[in-house]
Amino acid sequence: MDKGWGLAIDSDSLGFFSTFPKERMFPSADTGEAARVTVAEVDFFRRDVNDRKLTDKEGPRSRSMVIKKEDDLNGGSDDLRPACPDVNTGLHLETANSRSDRLTVASESFSSDLEDKRAQRELAQMQIELRRMNLENQKLRETLGQVSSSYSTLQMHMTMLLQRQQFPRQSDGSEDLQDRAEKAVPRQFLDLVPVSSAQGGDISNSMSEERTQELSGSPLNAAEVESGPKDGSVDVRESKRIRLETLDSEAPKLDSSRGVVDRAAATEATMRKARVSVRARSEAPMISDGCQWRKYGQKMAKGNPCPRAYYRCTMAVNCPVRKQVQRCAEDRSILITTYEGNHNHPLPPAAIAMASTTSSAVNMLLSGSMSSSDGVTNPNLLARAIPPFSSSIATISASAPFPTVTLDLTQQAPSPLQMQRQPQHQLPVSSAATAGHPTSISTHDLPHILRQGVMYNQSKFSGLQMSHDSVSPCVLGKNGPQPPSCFADTVSAATAAITSDPNFTAALAAAISSIISGKDPANNGPANSCGANPKSSNSNNSSVPSSGKANSFSGH
């Protein structure tokens, strides 16, 4: 067998190059037999001219690859490395009778296949880049998991803490739970998060319950939640219900924790009142958010020819969550869904996304209300609430009777009508954010994702003095999307689906749930002309069968 060629790979991209075969067969020019071209050694170390392995301190890294003849690898001095620092690894090598012939043939091969090699080189580079991005993606996922875990643990802890403040002594073993929960909370989180986010309602409580059950070694399922604890242990939600009842009737008596209680009561009330409105362009009568809803009313709202439908969550008996569905008066292809309250039950994966979004948005409001005193706030709440790279406009407004966060996902810049509804000054974020003025920011980074902005209205924030500090820097980045370190980026996987799917919530829920369970997005059912008759919606809203009747609400 003629001497083959050895390949020394000098690269730090080992993940890719390690896939190279160690031996490759090439036809021999003189014998017609297949000649074995041996990759004598895939050299994962950088080497100097004497083939001595270099350490990191001895020289810069290089991605170049060199081809070495086998005899060179075996100790020869004819190192081709300087002549071909960036040789393609396609290895169109042929064996020949003489060394010069081999070199000539190789040279001709190089020139004739130049384009091919260039393409292969680009391919190799792209594969390298792909590898790198995959690794980065994996790291981001790990980060997401860690942050999510910390977030859940934190909410659990704060819920526990509030309950402990409400019931300093619990004699039925729940203290063990609390202690364990506290021990599970990283210390650094305890000092960072405002009380409001921990009081953030039942979505967090649901997560907390699950976490608590994990800690206690008894997984919590929906049936157990509905039926309550079967042993002597304290159901967390039961504790909360007791706490809420106490807030209504006995809170003033608890002098030692009165401040906390009053604050909790105010927060609970705010949580009940604060709303998250989602504007999505959808022909479906109701966006699917993974929850089950029952319609309990329909009214004609002033200034809108389309009726407003009222739904309440039916996934639990006393779930306080309600939502209103109404088509936009100006553009009836836009569906406005307003959520209020927080679920008091575990949510299916498909519902977690929207519930988390709305809850985070509300928490963000509350965080803003809490942050004005100390200037410390949770910078990621709004980012959590708003898919970061989506073509959305997030409007924080207190001009309505209740503080409302509006997520505009209609893939439009603020319309003139919207701007009219936001009569306050719209200033560039660079000045407005620092001056505490309402702000409007646009971002332009992703090609098919248009804009995300925040219009920020604090003119009439009764009881919710939103500090400009509370607006997430992740959102208020001057140039739009922020580095991947921001938790908001973890939701960015949903944004592509959001922008391509007119049914935002279905896309959002599906995309985020895909992270959890790997499901595909679902689509909505057929269109309904105007307003809130949900009966033609898809099965994701199992409680809203189709009747096909026209809306015939007569008002009152």
Rounded distance between C-alpha atoms, residue 55 and residue 45, angstroms? 8
CA 474 to each of CA 191, 431, 489: distance values in angstroms, whole numbers, following the listed order: 20, 16, 9
Give the binding range for DNA (CB under 7 A) out of 123-131, 211-219, 262-270, 548-556: 548-556
Residues 272-331 within binding reach of DNA (CB under 7 A): 293-303, 308-310, 314, 322, 324
CA 396 to each of CA 53, 400, 433, 439, 456: distance values in angstroms, whole numbers, following the listed order: 60, 10, 14, 10, 5
Residue type, 173: G
The footprint of DNA on this chain (CB under 7 A) covers a number of residues equal to 34
Give the contact letters, 442-461, x = binds to DNA (CB under 7 A), - = no: --------------------
Please report how the helices 258-273 and 349-374 are oriented relative to each other, as an axis angle in degrees rounded to 10.
130
Residue number with CB closer to DNA (388 or 531) = 531
Binding flag, residue 556, DNA (CB under 7 A):
yes
Please report how the helices 493-500 and 504-517 are oriented relative to each other, as an axis angle in degrees rounded to 10.
150
- Of 386, 534, 538, 540, the residue at the interface with DNA (CB under 7 A) is 534
Q: Is 508 within 8 Å of 387 (Cβ atoms)?
A: yes
Q: Is 311 within 8 Å of 293 (Cβ atoms)?
A: yes
CB of 541 to DNA, least distance (A): 8
Record the tokens describing residue 28, joined without a space.
């021999």
Number of helices followed by number of strands (H, E) in the chain: 17, 12
Binding flag, residue 68, DNA (CB under 7 A):
no
Binding flag, residue 57, DNA (CB under 7 A):
no
Residue number with CB closer to DNA (151 or 293) = 293
Residue number with CB closer to DNA (95 or 298) = 298
Q: Is 143 within 8 Å of 137 (Cβ atoms)?
A: no
CB of 536 to DNA, least distance (A): 10
Give the binding range for DNA (CB under 7 A) out of 27-35, 350-358, 497-505, 530-538: 530-538
Residue number with CB closer to DNA (32 or 548) = 548
**Of residues 391, 412, 472, the one with CA closest to residue 439:** 472
Record the tokens describing residue 376, joined without a space.
């410390």
Residues 198-227 within binding reach of DNA (CB under 7 A): none
Binding flag, residue 555, DNA (CB under 7 A):
yes
CB of 212 to DNA, least distance (A): 30
Query: How many Cα atoms within 13 Å fall on the side-chain side of residue 221?
Result: 1
Residue number with CB closer to DNA (249 or 462) = 462
Give the contact letters, 381-420, x = binds to DNA (CB under 7 A), - = no: --------------------x-------------------
Residue number with CB closer to DNA (45 or 296) = 296
CB of 544 to DNA, least distance (A): 4
Give the binding range for DNA (CB under 7 A) out of 93-101, 238-246, 425-433, 541-549: 541-549
Rounded distance between C-alpha atoms, residue 234 and residue 251, angstroms? 21
Burial pattern 53-77, b for ≥16 Cβ within 10 A else e, equals: eeeeeeeeeeeebbbbbbbbbeeee
Provide the binding-site residues for DNA, judged by CB under 7 A: 293-303, 308-310, 314, 322, 324, 401, 533-535, 543-549, 551-556
